Amino acid sequence: MTDGADLPTPQFSTLAVHAGAAPDASTGARVTPIYQTASYVFNDADHAASLFGLEAFGNIYTRIMNPTQAALEERVAALEGGTAALAVASGHAAQFLVFHTLLEPGDEFVAATQLYGGSVNQFNHSFKKFDWNVAWADATNPDTIQAAITDKTKAIFVESIANPGGLVVDLPAISAVAKAAGIPLIVDNTLATPYLCQPKQHGADIIVHSMTKFLGGHGNSIGGIIVDCGTFDWLGAKHRYKTLVDANESYGGMKLAETFGNFAFAIACRVMGLRDLGPAIAPMNAFLILTGIETLPLRMAKHSENALALAQWLDARPEVDWVSYAGLASSSNNGLATKLCPKGSGAVFTFGLKGGYEAGVKLVEGLKLFSHLANIGDVRSLVIHPASTTHRQLTDEQRIRAGAGPDVVRLSVGIEDVADLTADLEQALAALA
């Protein structure tokens, strides 16, 4: 964003359009270009040495950094109120780099049971190969999170709005647990986006997103991002986070937390994680997501408006046993949602059909306007039966704990006319009879 020293602090919608962007210096192009290059020319040997030694910021190789990527990172960091960000290939890659930076073999972290099924799998299975061990707790009861913390616990991980159940999580209460234990709170803010909820304001230290979802918004690109809130004291922490505080042999003994202060975590994820593990975001995907964010406030408002209308309509249908959407006045989660997400409760919610598993499968196959696929956050309305798809690999007990029991149908409500969405649901529900 160009210098606006004589202007007031930009509001959210202005940041969504302008943060991180400026007319291209060499061409005057107003839209951030797609810098489709693998590498960059150095000014001279000293310039190259300063870049490789972290003595200056600049581009070396697109696996580590790219100008299109940098604009995207600055924009998301601004929207979340963070000090810095790192864009990577996917949401899973973002989670992996976060824990790679925080944990050593044998370390533990606590995660909410109310998580996306892919995250449950990643934590339960893939992370075990690194000897990173998860302890599960109930996000609706911070006391269970406290009880799961041991001397080896290095972090707490929750979603701001849980997928698939739509639960709005009590971030301030969980942050208090994290602070008492002296460990960082990591919040996946994918479903809420910073438009509906800014986790930093409620005690988060690290924020992750699958940008594939609402930030990009159009189902056309994969990406993830890590936001460093700049709030955790790595040097004074109870535990020793070695990647941040120990002398780093890759950079001449530099101690990242001492050198980079309140954005050291983002730097560590880049230069110790992305550099060596390599899940780089493609410049084209960074461009598409950057463009998608420009309309984020407009889309999230419409998403939430449509979702509330459909949740209210489904709640009155005889075929439906229950609806889980925090935006409903009847929801036990409504008070917390109003407090933490005052602009709306998001686009994703679940409901249970009286016909159980078979009815859920039949409903998703009978919808015509809703697309049956494993994604959320598209401008188009999407539907899935988690028990037979995204959460199929989990046990029955794990599915129920995650809000993906046999009767559950998940909707990701798009920005179409709500009358058309209602008509599609009505014909599919009628077919169940």
- pLDDT band at 117, cuts 50/70/90? confident
CA of 219: how far to CAs of 74, 129, 210, 288, in Å?
22, 31, 12, 10
CA proximity to 105, closest of 60, 152, 156: 152
Q: What pTM value is reported for the model? A: 0.95
pLDDT above 90 covers a percentage of the chain that reads 90
- Each residue's pLDDT tens digit, 37-83: 999 999 999 999 999 999 999 999 999 999 999 999 999 999 999 99
Higher pLDDT, 3 or 302: 302
Helix (H, G, I), strand (E, B) or coil at 96: helix
133 DSSP β-pair partners:
108
Phi/psi at 102 (5° precision): -90, -35
pLDDT at 393: 72
**Measured distance CA(271)–CA(211) in Å, rounded:** 21
Residue 4 pLDDT greater than 70, yes or no: no
- pLDDT band at 167, cuts 50/70/90? very high
Phi/psi at 287 (5° precision): -65, -45
Residue 14 pLDDT greater than 60, yes or no: yes
CA proximity to 370, closest of 424, 409, 306: 424
**Measured distance CA(160)–CA(138) in Å, rounded:** 13
Residue 339 pLDDT greater than 90, yes or no: yes
Across the range 404-428, mean pLDDT stands at 95
pLDDT at 430: 95
pLDDT above 70 covers a percentage of the chain that reads 99
Indicate the average pLDDT of the chain. Answer: 95
Residue 74: its H or E element: helix 67-80
Query: Is 40 exposed, middle or buried (CB count within 10 Å of its CB: 0-12, 13-18, 19+)?
Result: middle
- Dihedral in degrees, nearest 10, Cα atoms 260, 266, 267, 269: 140
CA proximity to 377, closest of 190, 165, 197: 190
Candidate from 23-27, 59-63, 232-236, 338-342 with smallest mean pLDDT: 23-27
pLDDT at 282: 98
Across the range 375-398, mean pLDDT stands at 86
Query: Is 182 exposed, middle or buried (CB count within 10 Å of its CB: 0-12, 13-18, 19+)?
Result: middle
Higher pLDDT, 199 or 397: 199
- pLDDT band at 405, cuts 50/70/90? confident
- Each residue's pLDDT tens digit, 257-283: 999 999 999 999 999 999 999 999 999
Residue 399 pLDDT greater than 90, yes or no: no
Across the range 393-403, mean pLDDT stands at 76
CA proximity to 126, closest of 116, 118, 136, 114: 118
Which domains occur in the chain, in start order?
12-292 (3.40.640.10), 297-432 (3.90.1150.10)
Contact 311, 421 (CB under 8 A): no
Residue 2 pLDDT greater than 60, yes or no: no
- Each residue's pLDDT tens digit, 343-354: 999 999 999 999
- pLDDT band at 386, cuts 50/70/90? confident
**Measured distance CA(263)–CA(84) in Å, rounded:** 6
Residue listed under structure tokens 């409760």: 345
Alpha helices in 103-249 (DSSP H): 117-124, 142-148, 171-181, 193-196, 242-245
Handedness of CA 415, 139, 169, 93 (dihedral sign): negative
Phi/psi at 352 (5° precision): -110, 135
- Span between the terminal Cα atoms of the chain, in Å: 56
Token reading at 134: 């998860």
- Each residue's pLDDT tens digit, 174-196: 999 999 999 999 999 999 999 99
Task: Tell me what percent of the chain is helix, strand and coil, each rounded to the nearest 5.
Answer: 40, 15, 45
pLDDT at 3: 54
Residue 30 pLDDT greater than 90, yes or no: yes
Across the range 218-232, mean pLDDT stands at 98
pLDDT at 328: 97
